[in-house]
């Protein structure tokens, strides 16, 4: 019952970056290898996400924008979730607060599109599209001026969109991601990361160089460890590469960017003896485990997680980092 209530509480699209997160996650769920995000005026007037994923069959388009419609889970096993989305809320929520249009083409099918305005779903029409899906969202909050007023400057909203795209880019090194600012009819690439190749560490090194900078990767230790079904992979900054603030601390659980207090605490604890007070470690760490060992459904924003055995997760992070630091002479 609790899980059902959590889902019913639903997610609210509070700002453009939240919409971008949902749309890019949908593209990732559709196995896209190439995702392009365009935004204008900080996403307030336009957000467009183009992907080369498996698409939506024409007959499923009305269903895709309906509330509580998800193709990803049947509701019987909410703890066993491998995809990003599972509530079937995002497109419906967006359709309620923006002019939404979706054009899509599933393999071997004709392309089609659908539009939603003020929550009213239009007819499915034929469209011209080679493959994948284009979701376009115009005039976010145009019908709710009160919400619009809470948005920050175009620049701040664009920055928040950039943060979301960069975090997802770190989570998915084998996917190509581009973010373009098309404000005022212009076209300026704000972030671009081509699909990485090679083994996981190569790919991560390449992607983290792109997102966090070459200095981070040059000054980071490879981390690899396993404990009771949890696998930890990633890069942890040398003590000399510490920061004056707790930024550049990134955790991913089963491919999802998370902001989890327990994990951040474990990171802090691992460096406690090697960093002076006021200095903070930089790290990009990836934990992977069978879906039943972690509950990602704790919070609608999906950035907190609950491990079945938090002690194991914490112990894994602390010991793996301490071991890597000790090996490097710290
Ligand atoms: P959820 O992701 O929780 O299932 P959404 O409202 O985000 O719910 O999306 C509803 C449905 O629309 C998805 O379950 C999926 O079937 C379809 N969908 C949305 N975006 C895409 C996309 N880019 N490519 C393929 N299918 C999509
Ligand atoms: Mg979704």
Q: How confident is the model over 72-94, as pLDDT tens digits? A: 655 554 444 556 655 678 899 89
Among 85, 96, 101, 135, the mutation site with the greatest number of ligand 1 atoms within 8 A of its Cβ is: 85
pLDDT band at 218 (very low <50, low <70, confident <90, very high): very high
Each residue of 30-48: b (16+ CB within 10 Å) or e? bebebbbbbbbbbbbbbbb
Q: Is the dihedral of CA 300, 304, 310, 316 positive or negative?
A: positive
β-pairing, 249-253 vs 283-288, is parallel
Q: Which atom of ligand 1 is nearest to the CA of 94?
A: 6
Q: Which atom of ligand 1 is nearest to the CA of 25?
A: 2
| Predicted confidence (pLDDT) at residue 2 exceeds the cutoff of 90 | no
pLDDT band at 69 (very low <50, low <70, confident <90, very high): low
Pocket of ligand 1 (CB under 6 A): 22, 26-27, 30, 51, 53-56, 64, 69-72, 85-92, 133
From CA 44, how far away is CA 149, in angstroms rounded? 11
38 has which bridge partners? Answer: 48, 180
For ligand 2, the distance from its centroid to the CA atom of residue 256, given in whole angstroms, is 13
Predicted confidence at residue 85, as pLDDT, reads 58
Predicted confidence at residue 5, as pLDDT, reads 33
For ligand 2, the distance from its centroid to the CA atom of residue 168, given in whole angstroms, is 14
pTM, two decimal places: 0.91
Mean pLDDT of the chain: 90
Predicted confidence at residue 169, as pLDDT, reads 98
- What residue ranges define each of the domains in the chain, with the CATH number in brackets? 2-193 (3.30.565.10), 213-327 (3.30.230.10)
Between the two ends of the chain, the Cα-to-Cα distance in Å is 49
Residue nearest (by alpha carbon) to ligand 1 atom 23: 27
Q: Which ligand is nearest to the CA of 87?
A: 1
For ligand 1, the distance from its centroid to the CA atom of residue 108, given in whole angstroms, is 19
ipTM for the complex shown: 0.99
| Predicted confidence (pLDDT) at residue 147 exceeds the cutoff of 60 | yes
């Amino acid at each position: 019952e609790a899980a059902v209530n959590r889902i019913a509480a639903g997610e609210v699209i509070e700002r453009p970056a939240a919409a971008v997160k949902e749309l890019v996650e949908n593209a990732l769920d559709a196995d896209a290898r190439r995702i392009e995000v365009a935004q204008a005026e900080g996403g307030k007037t336009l957000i467009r996400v183009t992907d080369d994923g498996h698409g939506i069959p024409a007959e499923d388009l009305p269903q895709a924008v309906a509330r509580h419609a998800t193709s990803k889970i049947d509701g019987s096993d909410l703890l066993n979730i491998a995809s990003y989305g599972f509530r079937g809320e995002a497109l419906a929520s967006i359709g309620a607060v923006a002019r939404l249009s979706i054009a899509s083409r599933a393999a071997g099918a004709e392309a089609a599109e659908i539009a939603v305005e003020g929550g009213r779903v239009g007819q499915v029409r034929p469209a011209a599209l080679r493959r994948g899906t284009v979701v376009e969202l115009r005039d976010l909050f145009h019908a709710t001026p009160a919400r619009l007023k809470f948005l920050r400057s175009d620049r701040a909203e664009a920055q928040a969109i950039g943060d979301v795209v960069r975090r997802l880019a770190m989570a998915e090194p084998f996917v190509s991601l581009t973010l373009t600012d098309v404000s005022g009819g212009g076209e300026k690439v704000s972030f671009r990361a081509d699909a990485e190749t090679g083994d996981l560490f190569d790919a991560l090194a390449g992607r983290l160089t792109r997102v966090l900078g070459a200095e981070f990767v040059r000054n980071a230790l490879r981390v690899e460890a396993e404990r009771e079904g949890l696998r930890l992979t990633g890069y942890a900054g040398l003590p000399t590469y510490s920061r004056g603030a707790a930024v550049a601390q990134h955790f991913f659980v089963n491919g999802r960017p998370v902001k989890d207090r327990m994990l951040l605490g474990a990171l802090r604890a691992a460096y406690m003896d090697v960093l002076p007070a006021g200095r903070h470690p930089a790290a990009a760490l990836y934990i992977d485990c069978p879906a039943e060992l972690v509950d990602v459904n704790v919070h609608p924003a999906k950035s907190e997680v609950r491990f079945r055995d938090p002690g194991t997760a914490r112990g894994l992070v602390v010991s793996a980092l301490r071991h890597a630091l000790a090996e490097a002479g710290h």
